[in-house]
């Protein structure tokens, strides 16, 4: 999420994914889905989001 509330690629916005994943893991969440409703280039957006998520360590 961008500061103005728009969608951006995962890892490009203001959401603290490592903290969210850590809290969710403690609560028993085992799967996540992420989305971007209006990417200019869907495949580039998916690649960028995957690249960010695959490198996370929490």
* Domain ranges, ordered by start, for the chain: 1-58
Q: Which pLDDT does position 57 carry in this prediction?
A: 82
Q: Give pLDDT, residue 11.
A: 93
Query: Percent of the chain scored above 70 by pLDDT?
Result: 100
How far is the C-alpha of 11 from the C-alpha of 51, rounded, in Å? 9
pTM over 0.85: no
Report how far apart, in Å, the C-alpha atoms of 35 and of each of 26, 44, 50 are: 23, 13, 11
Q: What separation in angstroms does the CA of 12 have from each of 15, 16, 29, 36?
A: 8, 10, 23, 12
């Amino acid at each position: 999420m961008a500061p103005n509330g728009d969608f951006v690629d995962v890892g490009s916005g203001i959401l603290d994914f490592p903290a969210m994943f850590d809290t969710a893991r403690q609560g028993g969440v085992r799967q996540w889905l992420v989305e971007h409703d209006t990417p200019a280039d869907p495949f580039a957006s998916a690649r960028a989001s995957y690249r960010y998520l695959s490198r996370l360590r929490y």
